[in-house]
Each structure stands twice: as structure tokens, then as C-alpha cells.
Structure 1
Amino acid sequence: MTAARLIELWRGGLRESSHLGHVVISDADGVVEAWGNPGTVIFPRSSCKMIQALPLVESGAADAVGLGPEHLALACGSHNGARSHVDRVEAWLSGLGFEDEDLRCGAHMPRDPQEYRRLLCSDASPCQVHNNCSGKHAGFLTLKRHINAGPEYVELDHPVQRAVRRAFEEVTGETAAGWGLDGCSAPNFACTVEGLARAMAGFARPRSGKRGAAQRRLFEAMAAHPDLVAGEGRACTDLMRAMRGRAVVKTGAEAVFVAIVPERGLGVALKVSDGGTRGAEAAITALMVHLGLLSAEDPVVAKYLTGPIRNWRGFETGEMRCASGFPN
């Protein structure tokens, strides 16, 4: 089965571009709705950070050092590198006796405009805490410390990553189809779009025991702190705020998006084939409207899907639309 046409860009009454991809909505029993090929193998990239954070909570490492919802939201997040993010990660590391050099995620300029400008104007270099994945890596360091493992926690055979892989394969219900090195230097394990949606459905209706308790805590942390999962002006934060805790969404590089919907017991996973963020943000917005979590008239829907596209003079030049049949 080939990729389905999901989102279209129209200009002057003609379809100019199309975003194709694969989408699965799953519950605990399996696929509820799908577009494209549910069996397509993908790298979830940062969309699976709540899975990567499961060993942090299940092991007792989070409780041993008193991590709260803000820490867990950062562990699941891809933050903007704003001071609100950086200060929290720095305090987290300092409280455990770690420094920036203990991270293995690398440094990049922050996405947050104010912090970017501060660094640029002061001729200062970004630190690793500015990395959008520094919260996830602070979680890895916390687990590493708890199990008394070595410093190279991003290596494939390190106990931290072995625990992450076990959790990943258990919640997706699949043996990892392979692995690749993520932008933050941590292994990223491959699965099908269906497997990723199945994993999110598990978070939506957690079972009893340590796994279910961890899934519930991570969902609640993300829902309570959407600003720490991404940041101002980001689709994850904007959409979660608009849904007021009814669902959480999380993006990943190369146009992956997931959603967890507890009130319906549903997990959602999508991959836009061209890797374009625009198409993925529009598609996840359309799906949240489809599932009754957002009104079609909500301003956030206009921002990411239905609002007119304007040029630099403010003239309307086109629009994005859902392709015929997506969503039904």
C-alpha cells in the first residue's frame, strides 16, 4: 500500500503541492483508522521521547532524586532553549552533581528568539543545555546515576539504552526494525507507524503496575506543562494548550507526530513522507479536529491548517487543505 495524500497546498485555484504520508489511529485492540500503509517502517525520532523516559520512571530513578512533573515534561520534550528551559535543566543537573560537560547531546543555538539574541549579541557560545534534547539527556544521566553505570550513556550497549530498547519494543509490540543515530547522538529505534500508534494507545489507557503508573505520570506531566515540551510558537505547545489537557501531541524530526488521547483510549502516529514540518503540523491538527478534540473554528486550527497563506505584503496567496478522504 502506497502513501496517502494527506495535505494539499492550493494557489490560484490549482493544487500546487501535496504532502503524502501514513497515519494510524489505534486503540488497545488494534488499528481503528488508517491512511497509507500502517506497516511502513519509520524512525520515530523525538516523537517517542515519552517511551525513552519510561525507564527513568519505572526504575525508581525519578523518585529517588525527587523529580517532579516539570522534570518529566522536559524529559519528554524538544524544547526551544529559552531561559525557562535552560535554567531548569541546569538546576536539574546541578542537583545531581552533574555539569554541562556530562551531557552527550551536543550544543546548538537555541530556537528561542530572546536566548538566541542574548548569545549572539554577547558573542557567547551555546552550551549543551541549549540543545532541544537536553531534558531527555538529563533523564538519561539520572537513570545512569541510579544504576551506577558508565558515563557514555548514549552508546547502544549501555545499560541506559538497553533499558530504552526493551521499553520501546514492549510498548510498540515489535522487535526494533533497526536503529539509527539521532541528532542528539542517542540511538533511535525503528518501528512501524502502526507500532508507534499502538505504543501511544498504551499511554492513553495505561494498565496497572509500574509500566502503567509511569505512562500515566509522563502523560500528566506533558499535559500540565506544554510550554516545557516545546515552547512559545511551537505546534506541540499551541495544540496542547488549546486541547486543555485532553490530549498530548509530540513532534519528531522528519515530519513524525504522535498523539495520546486518554478519553478515547486512542494513540495516533503519522509520518509525512517528504519530511516537511508544515505537512505534519497540518495533518496532526486535522486529526485532532477529526477526533473532536479541537473545534474547526479554534484559532490554532487556522494557524496550522485552515488559515490563508499570505505573502510579505499581506496579500492572500493560497491555502492548505485536507486531501479528499483525509480525514474521513
Structure 2
Amino acid sequence: MADRVVEMVDIWRGPVAESRHTGMAVVCNAAGEVIDGWGDLDTVILPRSSVKMIQALPLVASGAADAAGLTVDQLAFSCASHNGDKIHTDKARAWLGALGLSDDDLICGIQEPMGKQSRRALLKADETPCRVHNNCSGKHCGFLTLSKHLGAGPDYVHPDHPVQKSALDAFETVTGETSPGFGIDGCSAPNFATSMRGLGRAMGYFAGAREDGDALSQAALRLHQAMRLHPDLVAGEGRACTELMRAAKGKVTIKTGAEGVFTAILPDQGLGVALKITDGATRASECAIAGLLVKLGALDANDPVVRKYLNPEIKNFAGLVTGEVKLAAGFPV
């Protein structure tokens, strides 16, 4: 039996490995077969926001997106964990307005913008953040659109609501597993659990999605294409998802999730990737996903943007380089 976790990322200070991060990862093909894996792939995790493209599947597959006239950029935004910058809040407000709704109809909660400039702008204007600033507001606009299409009630995050039942059905279809349960995410929506293998299988499903497939397959294709076309909406400036997708030049769709989770879709190769850092450290998950995507040929290790995540320097308060974040020996080779 495989070790439950493997060493993935080391934090070096001078000649000493000061900290070590372990994790699990899997690469699956479009048929759901494991091509490569690290750690115990039967370990159950909460994928958090790394599966927003799965949560958006019913929005498209049901016909709700087309009935509402949603554009490609709105489909990308429905899969976002965004910075709360103006480009994002304008998108959310316009979408809500088209639905005849307002900030008050979002159940995601109020969150300060993740982008530093946007936080400063709010402070300078003596304004307070709204629900549209929440990094999940795009996903919730999608939920509201589907709820309206289904003629369902306003409590769209309740596990028994038709929106969440359809999300669970899509989730179990693409993971190929019955979800053992869920946790409530930061935005109040259910986050369904699956195994590492199941999460990788789901990303493989997206990678193999076809225009001549069934409604779910067509929806998967439209969503991961939209994310690659609009990486600025999926996360934002200074964020790994946005910057690495740009560096990949259309080769990969990348999505982060809280607590050290990343997923990736490589359509040209028909491969899907899932990664989880055991202790939830972002510094490690960004390094590990960059390393995996370099191994798979989707990223160039010499690209300065890729190096920023693959081997970032650690500096002290005086600006001196005191160490670096590095892939552990033997991972991901």
C-alpha cells in the first residue's frame, strides 16, 4: 500500500531544510485511469474552491446559462475565487442587475477584497466591503441564475435546495464516486467530499470533454475553455491561477482551493491533475502544482512567472535572501 502522504516541498534557510510539506497528488486520463500518483489516492478530502467548475456544471448543462444569455466571461466568473477588484465587482453587480437582484440576494457573506489595491481604494473612499467583494460572488451569481431557471427558492445554499442537489449529482457523476458527505464552505455552500482519485478523475473528465458529447460533457468543455480565456476573472493580478494560466499560453486550466488544494485540466493531453498539501500551506501547494505542470509539459521551468512559484526566494526584512521554497527530492519525478 502506498504511503498516505509523500514529501513534496521543502523550505530551506541556508543549508538547512527548515520546514517540510507533505501531500498527495494524482494525474488521471480522460477515461478516469490513474496515470501517476503520490500518496494514498483513496484518502478523502474536501476539495474546496478547486471544484468550482464542477459546481457550475448544472448552470450550463441545464440550459440556464443560455436561457439567461450568459457570456463566456460570465461562465469563467462563475468558476472564480477572485480578488474582489473592480473588474470582478463590476461583473457581479451587472450580473445581479440582469437577474433583477442585488447584493442582498447573495448568501456568500461579506468579505474584504483579496487584492491590496482594492482594499486601499475602499479605505480611501471610506466605504465598506459588500458581498460582491466575496471571492465566491461569481459562483453565487451562477447559483442564483440556476435557481431562477428552476423556479426554486432563495435559500440556494441549503443542501436540500435543487441547486445543491444538482451540484451533488454533477459532482458524483464526474468523480465517479458517491460523496461520503460535505462540509460547509467559507461562502456557506456545501463542499462535497471525494477521494484524491475521484478528484483527479473529475479533472480527467473535464480534459476529455467534447463538443459532440452529452449536455454535461459540453458544459465541462465550455467552462474550462472560458476559464483559460479569462484567467483575470478566475483569480486576479498577483494570483497563481491567473499568472500560471497566462504563462501556460492556453495549455492548462488551473484552479486553487483553500487548505492547499489545486486542480488542473490539460485538454491537449487529455489529463487531469489534483493536488492536496497535508497542512494546507499555500506556499507549498503553489510550488507543487507548478512542479507537476512543468513535469507534464504545460509550463516552462525557465519562465520567470513559473520560477516565482516553483522556487520563490525567501527574504528577510532587510531584503536579504535567506532561503527558498523548493520541490522535495523525488517529487514529482
**1:285, 1:39 → 2: CA distance?**
23
Question: Secondary structure of 1:264's match?
Answer: coil
2:77 aligned residue (46, 54, 74):
74
Q: Give the aligned residue type for 2:215.
A: K
Q: Does 1:162 align with 2:154?
A: no
Q: Give the aligned residue type for 1:244.
A: K
Question: Secondary structure of 1:263's match?
Answer: coil
CA RMSD of aligned residues (A): 0.9
2:19 aligned residue (10, 17, 20):
17
Could you tell me which residue of structure 2 aligns to residue 277 of structure 1? 282
Residue 122 of structure 1 deviates from its aligned partner by 2.7
Residue 2 of structure 1 deviates from its aligned partner by 2.0
Q: Give the aligned residue type for 1:127.
A: C
**1:189, 1:77 → 2: CA distance?**
18
Provide structure 2 residue ranges, at least 5 long, that are not aligned to the other structure: none
**1:61, 1:147 → 2: CA distance?**
8
The correspondence of residues 167-178 of structure 1 with structure 2, limited to 5 A, is: 167-178=170-181
Question: Secondary structure of 2:268's match?
Answer: helix
1:236 aligned residue (241, 251, 265):
241
Cα distance, 1:319–1:232 mapped onto 2, change above 3 Å = same
Residue 307 of structure 1 deviates from its aligned partner by 3.6
Q: Give the aligned residue type for 2:27.
A: I
**1:318, 1:283 → 2: CA distance?**
17
Q: Give the aligned residue type for 1:6.
A: M
Q: Give the aligned residue type for 2:131.
A: Q
Residue 312 of structure 1 deviates from its aligned partner by 2.3
**1:240, 1:323 → 2: CA distance?**
24
Q: Does 1:41 align with 2:44?
A: yes
Query: Is the Cα contact below 8 Å between 2:4 and 2:43 reproduced in 1?
Result: no
2:329 aligned residue (317, 321, 324):
324
The correspondence of residues 65-214 of structure 1 with structure 2, limited to 5 A, is: 65-207=68-210, 208-214=213-219
Could you tell me which residue of structure 2 aligns to residue 3 of structure 1? 5
**1:117, 1:310 → 2: CA distance?**
25
Q: Does 1:56 align with 2:59?
A: yes
Taking structure 2 as the reference length, the TM-score comes to 0.97
Q: Give the aligned residue type for 1:199.
A: A
**1:316, 1:112 → 2: CA distance?**
25
Query: Is the Cα contact below 8 Å between 2:78 and 2:142 reproduced in 1?
Result: yes
**1:236, 1:48 → 2: CA distance?**
13
Question: Secondary structure of 1:163's match?
Answer: helix
Q: Give the aligned residue type for 2:314.
A: I
Query: Is the Cα contact below 8 Å between 2:247 and 2:306 reproduced in 1?
Result: no
- Count how many residue pairs are aligned between Structure 1 and Structure 2: 328
Question: Secondary structure of 2:244's match?
Answer: helix
Question: Secondary structure of 2:88's match?
Answer: helix
Query: Is the Cα contact below 8 Å between 1:301 and 1:307 reproduced in 2?
Result: no
Residue 177 of structure 1 deviates from its aligned partner by 1.5
Q: Give the aligned residue type for 1:116.
A: R
Residue 29 of structure 1 deviates from its aligned partner by 4.2
Question: Secondary structure of 1:304's match?
Answer: helix
1:221 aligned residue (219, 226, 249):
226
**2:271, 2:113 → 1: CA distance?**
33
Q: Give the aligned residue type for 2:95.
A: W
**2:307, 2:170 → 1: CA distance?**
37
Q: Give the aligned residue type for 2:183.
A: G
CA deviation string 1:263-287 (max 9, x = no partner): 1111000100001110000000001
CA deviation string 1:63-90 (max 9, x = no partner): 0011011101110010000000000110
Question: Secondary structure of 2:166's match?
Answer: helix
**2:330, 2:125 → 1: CA distance?**
51
**1:164, 1:293 → 2: CA distance?**
29
